[in-house]
Structure 1
């Protein structure tokens, strides 16, 4: 009996040893990947020359304030040789930023983030062998936060480029960069999601990962287990300011398209459709007679745009673009931006409950675009008791800016208030019927069905949108 008891711990130890070995065997080993890829990863620092006179003026101080007193006003005291242009008697200061990048060609082309080198007067690239080379900015694209640099060197180590479209959620990925200036730091994690849209980032379908990313990692490569670059680490969402957050990388397919255009012409041309879109929520889906909430709802077709020329109409719901599903409205800009201007795109829409296919020639995204809509009261008014809203005709100036519609002057208790209408909204369409006048408005409202949601298109402070409207009786 005692001999049996003595044998039990040894058995447990053996089982645990086998279990640990199996777990270790199932985890990836990054050692060879890091050795092979690190030489092509670079550290990027920048220098910005700031005129001290302009800095003093910004603080409202006279330029002849003695150096010793400037630190009381938040001004750093420069040290060094008094004869140096950056010394106490100099007129310039230097500010440096730090980031990462990687070499994509043997003759010295380097990719990084635009925000790493933005407003830099000098860009320094430090290689794995500790060489420091001055880089030339070939081109930058703020919309995708990418920049292409060039250093004068030959036979440089390069990364192997991967196909980010083949990346799968749950796949292991590795980041190499310079967080806080610590060169060639390696972190690993998995792909959490693909095709993420971020605020003010309409043309990049970000890769979301749980890889630890910190300041200095920006512009560095994201590798798959084959040692291929599948993304460029760009942003982190965190409440702590550290890596305890969600990391985002620019897909490599998007980055290389941008890099090729920057190399060829120094700027990036993107496809442009010319629509204002919004999400299709459950209530809107019901009002349009859809089975599920999906697609991009066209709230406004921009005048003289490819969308207008191609036959898109307000109220169309785009479900597919060039064969790709559009689940969320944010999916559409990603797809359109990647289309070469001048080529035709297949656009599947749902219009008044029926499916249609349009072929639209994509244009070039303009530098700026927008519309300013007025909401002054028109001369003719009408009140609809079914909606509990007072509307008025648009005046001539308003019609020139926004076309047809009626302006909301007063919202009382009722369906209009429940739907969220406010004074100044311009109603342009209800239940698929265009509203050109108060008479049209009254006629359409009287014929609306009961106990179901119907779509209403409005323009609010220059932005067009659809809202669901439900009339109980």
Structure 2
């Protein structure tokens, strides 16, 4: 290669390298400039100077001020008892188990697992961990102070069947606590710490949060203590089948075992709920947690503090929610309210004139959405107070004043019937008089054809038909006549009131053709 050619190629190579460097620098500037416009928190100064039109950086919201204010009021609740088995309710609750790993004794993680399994060098009886023998159980959960004089709230399932309760404070102190009162039906418990105060405490929120509001969960997941997580309110008024008065907030702040009884805060540092349960196939957080709303907590805690127990209002009725078919059959446009399927003898409702088949639409002017809503509303009323019920009866609204009674534990009797009887092929039922099939009033269901209308509507062998279209029935002929009368009256559906070992219920059945 000649000297001229070499110099020409060398110059071209240098120009290409220079061009690549310039392009790379321009690309870097453009990239950081875009980052500045997009609002990222960290922006290189050179990029900000390159673009005079870049929007100012936006800071992500911080919860540090709220956490600093409320965290001292949150405690870890530790419970000791013989063979303590605190339910975790698929929950943020109490007992926790870390997986077993086959690690060498000198492995650095051995101390970690021993610590968070609650194992020291020795257990309560002095035997070494892993040795068989009697030993007291240990459960852990969370709680929070609601007053400077030592009252604190947790879940009932955290301290249930406990013989010894202590709380681990945020400042490291361990203090003894006594149980003031519990309410298993809402899974709440009130404790009292007598010594070591005054205590930092938090307030219950006076109003419910909205779906989409921020919430902070503070608690003791897996025994770690003082852990803070954040999320939003995902839904309200959740019924998860945990108790008769379910009305949970659903939140997506990470909640795990050990968080049970801990608070969920709004951005003002007020408690909007008590973390109680999670929905999880694995037992760990999947973003679906449930908290008892502060309104419920306030009501229960006040009663536990004043009386040590919880009293609930009582009507003395069995009720069920309205289906569209039931609403249509009685002339209501909406399937809202609760229908009275059975009255207890000498109950407050019976004394006031409530009848089987009445649909309770409101209580003291508050609309009733369904049966569970009515149960919660009545339970919150004081025994001896007067409540105004608006009911739907015979196609019109009617007001009834009821003196609320005091709830007590009650059980329903069961009835079963057997034998052969009258076929009602159009519905798929085999019926017999109750007097010949167990000695009860009404008409006994002694057979249900699979795939029939009756089967689809939920009839079961052993049910007793008490009345049809509001008329008491005692024989299969009475049932047939009631159906015929409904068909002649132009009705498309007719109501059966059915009793079983699980209670009474209404079933709307299509009127069969002649």
Question: Which TM-score band (shorter chain)?
Answer: 0.7 to 0.9
| Partner residue, 1:461 | 501
| Partner residue, 1:94 | 136
| Partner residue, 2:338 | 296
Alpha-carbon distance between aligned partners in 2 of 1:31 and 1:213, rounded to the nearest angstrom: 19
| Partner residue, 1:327 | 369
Matched, 1:159 2:202: yes
| Partner residue, 1:137 | 179
Alpha-carbon distance between aligned partners in 2 of 1:315 and 1:14, rounded to the nearest angstrom: 67
Residue by residue, what CA displacement relative to the aligned partner does 1:74-103 show, whole Å, maximum 9, x if unpaired?
xxx99859xx85549998412111110001
Matched, 1:407 2:407: no
Give unpaired runs (5+ residues) of structure 2. Answer: 1-21, 43-54, 85-118
When residues 10 and 242 of structure 1 are mapped into structure 2, their CA distance, relative to the original with a 3 A threshold, is closer
Alpha-carbon distance between aligned partners in 2 of 1:11 and 1:86, rounded to the nearest angstrom: 66
**CA contact under 8 A between 2:427 and 2:454: conserved in structure 1?**
yes
When residues 125 and 277 of structure 1 are mapped into structure 2, their CA distance, relative to the original with a 3 A threshold, is same
Residue by residue, what CA displacement relative to the aligned partner does 1:303-327 show, whole Å, maximum 9, x if unpaired?
2222222222222222222322222
Q: Please, what TM-score do these two structures have when normalized by structure 1?
A: 0.83
Aligned with residue 35 of structure 1, among 68, 72, 89:
68
**CA contact under 8 A between 1:195 and 1:331: conserved in structure 2?**
no
Mean CA deviation greater in 447-456 or 129-138: 447-456
Matched, 1:209 2:234: no
Residue by residue, what CA displacement relative to the aligned partner does 1:227-259 show, whole Å, maximum 9, x if unpaired?
111211111111121110421111122112212
Alpha-carbon distance between aligned partners in 2 of 1:385 and 1:13, rounded to the nearest angstrom: 74
Alpha-carbon distance between aligned partners in 2 of 1:23 and 1:281, rounded to the nearest angstrom: 54
Matched, 1:251 2:316: no
| Partner residue, 1:14 | 36
Alpha-carbon distance between aligned partners in 2 of 1:415 and 1:33, rounded to the nearest angstrom: 58
**CA contact under 8 A between 1:453 and 1:469: conserved in structure 2?**
yes
| Partner residue, 1:168 | 210
Residue by residue, what CA displacement relative to the aligned partner does 1:270-316 show, whole Å, maximum 9, x if unpaired?
11222222222222222222212222222222222222222222222
| Partner residue, 1:357 | 399
Local SS of the residue matching 2:371: coil
| Partner residue, 2:385 | 343
Q: Judging by fraction of residues, say which structure has more strand.
A: 1
TM alignment of 1:214-229, pairs within 5 A = 214-229=256-271
| Partner residue, 1:118 | 160
Aligned with residue 242 of structure 1, among 284, 292, 295:
284
| Partner residue, 1:432 | 470
Alpha-carbon distance between aligned partners in 1 of 2:492 and 2:380, rounded to the nearest angstrom: 39
Shift of 1:361: 1.5
Backbone CA RMSD of aligned residues? 3.3
**CA contact under 8 A between 2:318 and 2:343: conserved in structure 1?**
yes
Residue by residue, what CA displacement relative to the aligned partner does 1:345-366 show, whole Å, maximum 9, x if unpaired?
2222222322122221111111
- Structure number with greater Rg is 2
Mean CA deviation greater in 179-188 or 389-398: 389-398
Alpha-carbon distance between aligned partners in 2 of 1:240 and 1:300, rounded to the nearest angstrom: 41
| Partner residue, 2:170 | 128
| Partner residue, 2:10 | none
How many equivalent residue pairs?
438
**CA contact under 8 A between 1:386 and 1:445: conserved in structure 2?**
no
Matched, 1:421 2:490: no
Alpha-carbon distance between aligned partners in 1 of 2:430 and 2:136, rounded to the nearest angstrom: 61
Alpha-carbon distance between aligned partners in 2 of 1:80 and 1:448, rounded to the nearest angstrom: 76
| Partner residue, 1:199 | 241
When residues 443 and 372 of structure 1 are mapped into structure 2, their CA distance, relative to the original with a 3 A threshold, is same
Alpha-carbon distance between aligned partners in 2 of 1:249 and 1:79, rounded to the nearest angstrom: 36
Shift of 1:17: 3.0
Alpha-carbon distance between aligned partners in 2 of 1:86 and 1:282, rounded to the nearest angstrom: 64
Q: Please, what TM-score do these two structures have when normalized by structure 2?
A: 0.77
Shift of 1:384: 5.2
**CA contact under 8 A between 1:103 and 1:159: conserved in structure 2?**
yes
Alpha-carbon distance between aligned partners in 2 of 1:129 and 1:437, rounded to the nearest angstrom: 73
**CA contact under 8 A between 2:388 and 2:399: conserved in structure 1?**
yes
Local SS of the residue matching 1:12: helix
Alpha-carbon distance between aligned partners in 2 of 1:175 and 1:374, rounded to the nearest angstrom: 49
